[in-house]
Amino acid sequence: LTPRLQPFTSTIFAEMTALATRTGAVNLGQGFPDTDGPASMLAEAQNAIASGINQYPPGPGRPELRQAIAEHRTRYGTHFDPDTEVLVTVGATEAIASALLGLAGPGDEVLLIEPYYDSYAACVALSGATRRVVPLAEDPETGRFAPDIDAMRAAITPNTRLILINTPHNPTGTVFTRSELTAIAELCVEHDLIAVTDEVYEDLIFDGLSHVPLGSLPGMAERTLTISSAGKMFNCTGWKIGWMCGPAELVAAAKAAKQFLTFVGGAPFQPAVAHALRHEGAWVADLRTQLQSKRDRLVEGLTEAGFGVRPSQGTYFVCADVRPLGFTDGFQLCRELPERIGVAAVPVQVFTDTPENWQHVVRFAFCKKDEVLDEAVARLHKLI
């Protein structure tokens, strides 16, 4: 194995899901829903297969999907040319990889915020660039993990080329505010940085908060690649239909890498996702309402079970401090939990460069049926 990939031989999701399967544990580790997406979308995919949409789609993605993606982004007041400014990818994962491979290389620094989604550090390593990592700061009053603008400013050097921002944020569930994003945008403009934003949870936001795309802020349209995916929006994580939108020059750079990663993917799913983007907004609104009540259900259960629950404003996830239960190492706890009480979770320290600062935090997924959440909570009560 090449040295640059040696720190990345396995993923925590594969490890914890394998452990959950082996032990029959309730899996609140890997974030994937246990119900299907909108029926009309599933039918469209079946129709597409039956009608012969089974060969390579066009390199940038099928035109009706690129059109639907561009239309979908107009809700934020942003406008993209479907022919040059939209690229369909194999999940957001490939969009992130191609953006980094196409835009960063040896000598460049990429700024990440920790905890970070695991593929970011691996893809920076693949690109040959160097990552610099700034932590989210825990608000002492609310426990919310917030971006630390001063720390970000201090981490920027003349070699910083790109910053990767994820909101709504996995694993903390933080939704960045407009003023936090405005401060980040100002840093990008001042230091002439490219921004890559991971917005896969853009629709999964609670309590009446709203999603602000960094690329919609002043000075950002020309320097931002915005990434999203159908997986979380329409409960179809296994379809791996993702996309990016941005200025033609940045999209072309990412496309240069993408065409040699997978070339294309998911032909019959593309018209189905186009259909869902156009016609299933009400379904997504209902998903958001359901997820908010699942969040409440799990937060209440974890609190009663003795965890120090942190606020979750969006995504599939809530983070909890395990110290009130007498544990100090979340990784150790997550390795033991499936065997001990039959629940799987994910330690947040694996998403960081400073595990010692995050050892006490564990992530639970609530994108599950209510009875699954209730069973997990009942089992977690045995920890007291």
Q: Applying CB under 6 A, which residues contact ligand GLN?
A: 11, 13, 30-31, 170
> Is 200 one of the binding residues for ligand PMP (CB under 6 A)?
yes
Nearer to ligand PMP, 73 or 240 (CB): 240
Q: Which does 27 bind (CB under 5 to 8 A by kind): ligand PMP, ligand GLN, none?
A: none
| Bridge partners, 244 (sequence order) | 87, 227
Nearer to ligand PMP, 89 or 305 (CB): 89
Residue carrying structure tokens 């390593």: 125
Q: Closest distance between ligand GLN and the C-beta of residue 132, in Å?
A: 23
Q: Which does 166 bind (CB under 5 to 8 A by kind): ligand GLN, ligand PMP, none?
A: ligand PMP
Q: Which residues does 303 contact at the CB level (< 8 Å), separation at least 6? A: 309
Q: Would you give the binding string for ligand PMP spanning residues 73-112, x where CB under 6 A is met?
A: ------------------xxx-------------------
CB-count burial class (<10 Å; 0-12, 13-18, 19+) for 24: exposed
Q: Closest distance between ligand GLN and the C-beta of residue 134, in Å?
A: 20
Nearer to ligand PMP, 91 or 135 (CB): 91
CB-count burial class (<10 Å; 0-12, 13-18, 19+) for 158: exposed
> Is 231 one of the binding residues for ligand PMP (CB under 6 A)?
yes
Name the maximum alpha-carbon separation found in the chain.
58
Enumerate long-range contacts of 190-193, CB under 8 Å, 24 or more apart: 191/156, 191/160, 192/223, 193/111, 193/156, 193/160, 193/161, 193/162, 193/163, 193/223
Nearer to ligand PMP, 163 or 305 (CB): 163
Contact 277, 68 (CB under 8 A): yes
Q: Which does 292 bind (CB under 5 to 8 A by kind): ligand GLN, ligand PMP, none?
A: none
The Cα-based distances of 179 to 184, 210, 214 in angstroms read: 9, 13, 11
Q: Closest distance between ligand PMP and the C-beta of residue 158, in Å?
A: 29
Q: Closest distance between ligand PMP and the C-beta of residue 241, in Å?
A: 7
- Look at residues 210, 216, 179 and name the one whose alpha carbon lies nearest to residue 197: 216
- Look at residues 271, 244, 274, 199 and name the one whose alpha carbon lies nearest to residue 60: 244
> Is 246 one of the binding residues for ligand PMP (CB under 6 A)?
no
Q: Which two tokens stand for residue 264?
A: 């294309």
Q: Closest distance between ligand GLN and the C-beta of residue 338, in Å?
A: 16
Nearer to ligand PMP, 271 or 342 (CB): 271
Q: Closest distance between ligand PMP and the C-beta of residue 199, in Å?
A: 9
Residue type (1 letter), 160: T
Size of the site for ligand PMP (CB under 6 A): 13
Positions touching ligand PMP (CB under 6 A) are: 91-93, 117, 166, 170, 198, 200, 229, 231, 237, 240, 242
